[in-house]
């Protein structure tokens, strides 16, 4: 399989970051190229100042009766999963320039796992013919 | 159309489960195979103990001025929609083994509408060349 | 590129509407047709009565330590982005008839930027062979 998986990563909670990392690592393991575009709260989560913080869980987790992760959200290994994906295969993580501007974040504030900044046009160009997933 | 629709179902509120069920049923009606991978709060929602509970609405519904469903979230027929989709066509619902582990849920706790447990790799393999949607 | 980008737009907060508008405008700029199906809280946001309101931010933004948009959510130009996309290219925005019914919204309540109402089947038919994104 030599398709590209293009991942618009918008969400910033540990559970959704983990779902994204798992998808990226799985695609890598199957030989796919993976392009991740960080927007809004995912962009926020990948800042050097916050990348190791506890980012909590999605709103869905708050409903009464849900099974909570016994080890807590801080133990969810989403960043390790992205690091493993980058070691395994061809993963590019890009900070969305539009979101940087809206949130007033400088590109230099991003953690070194982020490869650079770029816009939606070049992201979509690389996505051509492949799958686009929004998380 | 003989494509496969691959649905990563992460969310556990009644409105998003309904959106997912509608997409699955629509794809079935068009002759597509549908593979659903249950992660996190969707996995939680498909447990026998909780599948018939009121799972509430997404955070977006809380904003002042939104039009609330007159019949309430408990009346949203998401489970019936999935059941109909399974009768109509070729729908496989899989509990994500990684999410089972993170939430400390045993495979035996899942409702019988769930066909089994499995990982991201076999899900992505079956998704090859088709569409992947994350809800 | 003459693929179709099919966008199931479910979310109703200004940040996610912006992400959706940006994706639609980007796809238009690359010559893709774009079909948007409005469900639930996006449908609610596109009502004439609410389209210019402040729709707030996603739940992810509430976590302590997140970088808030300095100009606030009301300044996020999501509607302008959709208008620009419609001027640039071939964008159709459809109110999902199932969601209209669940929320008790009449098709006549929708803002004129919405082209009409329709179901999931015709949406999926137009999506054939292209990309489907759920936001």
Q: What pLDDT does residue B2 have?
A: 64
E strand intervals along chain C: 4-9, 33-38, 91-96, 116-118, 131-134
Cross-strand bridge partners of residue A83? none
Are the C-beta atoms of B33 and B5 separated by less than 8 Å? yes
Min Cα–Cα distance to chain A from B85, Å: 23
Question: How far, in Å, CA of A22 to CA of A1, rounded?
Answer: 18
Angstrom distances, CA of residue A11 to CA of A18, A40, A41, C94, C135: 10, 7, 5, 25, 11
Question: How far, in Å, CA of C134 to CA of A56, rounded?
Answer: 23
Cross-strand bridge partners of residue B95? B38, B117
Six-digit token pair at A5? 């998986």
Q: What is the pLDDT of residues B9-31, one digit of tens each?
A: 999 999 999 999 999 999 999 99
Instruction: Per residue of chain C (135 residues), give pLDDT as tens.
Output: 568 999 999 999 999 999 999 999 999 999 999 999 999 999 999 999 999 999 999 999 998 899 999 999 999 999 999 999 999 999 999 999 999 999 999 999 999 999 999 999 999 999 988 999 999
Question: Got the DSSP string for chain B?
Answer: --PEEEEEE---SHHHHHHHHHHHHHHHHTT-EEEEEE-HHHHHHTBTTTTTS-----GGGGSTT----TT-GGG--HHHHHHHHHHHS-EEEEEEHHHHHHHT--GGGB-TTS-EEE-HHHHHHHHTTSEEEE-
Min Cα–Cα distance to chain C from B98, Å: 23
Min Cα–Cα distance to chain C from A120, Å: 6
Are the C-beta atoms of B12 and B44 separated by less than 8 Å? yes
Residue of B nearest to A60 (CA): B12
Is the predicted pLDDT of residue B3 greater than 90, yes or no?
no
Q: What pLDDT does residue A51 have?
A: 97
Q: Is A63 in contact with B39 (Cβ distance < 8 A)?
A: no
Are the C-beta atoms of B46 and B114 separated by less than 8 Å? yes
Q: What pLDDT does residue C1 have?
A: 52
Q: What pLDDT does residue B129 have?
A: 85
Average pLDDT value for residue range A62-83: 95
Q: Is C134 in contact with B131 (Cβ distance < 8 A)?
A: no
Q: Is A30 in contact with B124 (Cβ distance < 8 A)?
A: yes
Average pLDDT value for residue range A65-77: 95
Q: What pLDDT does residue B131 have?
A: 94
Question: Which of C81, C48, B135, C42 minimizes the C-alpha distance to A19?
Answer: B135
Q: What pLDDT does residue C93 have?
A: 98
Q: What is the pLDDT of residues A14-44, one digit of tens each?
A: 999 999 999 999 999 999 999 999 999 999 9
Question: Which of B108, A50, C110, B114 minimizes the C-alpha distance to C118?
Answer: C110
Six-digit token pair at C37? 């199906």
Are the C-beta atoms of C21 and C85 separated by less than 8 Å? yes
Q: 3-class SS at C34?
A: strand
Of residues C56, C123, C128, nearest to B1 (C-beta): C128
Q: Calculate helix-pair angle for C78-88, C14-29, nearest 10 degrees.
A: 20
Question: How far, in Å, CA of B17 to CA of B23, rounded?
Answer: 10
Question: How far, in Å, CA of C85 to CA of C43, rounded?
Answer: 18
Question: How far, in Å, CA of C111 to CA of C107, rounded?
Answer: 9
Of residues A25, A60, A67, nearest to B104 (C-beta): A67
Contacting residues of C for B18, CB less than 8 Å apart: 102
What is the count of residue pairs from A and B with beta carbons less than 8 Å apart? 80
Question: How far, in Å, CA of C81 to CA of C1, rounded?
Answer: 21
Average pLDDT value for residue range A86-94: 96
Q: What pLDDT does residue A129 have?
A: 86
Is the predicted pLDDT of residue A2 greater than 80, yes or no?
no
Q: Is A66 in contact with B123 (Cβ distance < 8 A)?
A: no
Contacting residues of B for A5, CB less than 8 Å apart: 132
Of residues B25, B60, B131, nearest to C12 (C-beta): B60
Which of A59, A89, A135 would best serve as a mutation to test chain B binding (most B beta carbons within 10 A)?
A59
Q: Calculate helix-pair angle for B120-127, A14-29, nearest 10 degrees.
A: 60
Q: What is the pLDDT of residues B40-92, one digit of tens each?
A: 999 999 999 999 999 999 999 998 899 999 999 999 999 999 999 999 999 99
Which of C15, C124, C130 would best serve as a mutation to test chain B binding (most B beta carbons within 10 A)?
C124
DSSP annotation of A108: G
Is the predicted pLDDT of residue A1 greater than 60, yes or no?
no
Percent of chain A with pLDDT over 70: 99
Residue whose entry in the numeric block shows the structure tokens 């969601």: C99
Q: What pLDDT does residue B80 have?
A: 98
Q: What pLDDT does residue B1 have?
A: 52
State the CB neighbour count (10 A cutoff) for residue B81.
Answer: 21
- If residue A99 lies in a helix (H) or strand (E), which one and from where to where? helix A97-103
């Amino acid at each position: 399989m030599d398709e590209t998986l293009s991942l618009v990563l918008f969400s910033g909670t540990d559970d959704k970051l983990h779902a994204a990392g798992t998808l990226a690592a799985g695609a890598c393991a199957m030989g796919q190229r993976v392009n991740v575009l960080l927007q809004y709260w995912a962009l926020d989560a990948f800042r050097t100042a916050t990348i190791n913080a506890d980012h909590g869980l999605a709103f869905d987790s708050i409903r009464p009766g849900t099974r909570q992760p016994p080890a807590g959200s801080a133990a969810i290994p989403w960043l390790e999963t992205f690091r493993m994906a980058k070691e395994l295969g061809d993963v590019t993580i890009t900070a969305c320039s539009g979101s940087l501007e809206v949130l007033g974040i400088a590109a230099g504030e991003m953690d070194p796992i982020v490869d650079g900044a770029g816009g939606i046009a070049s992201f979509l160009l690389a996505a051509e013919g492949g799958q686009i997933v929004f998380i």
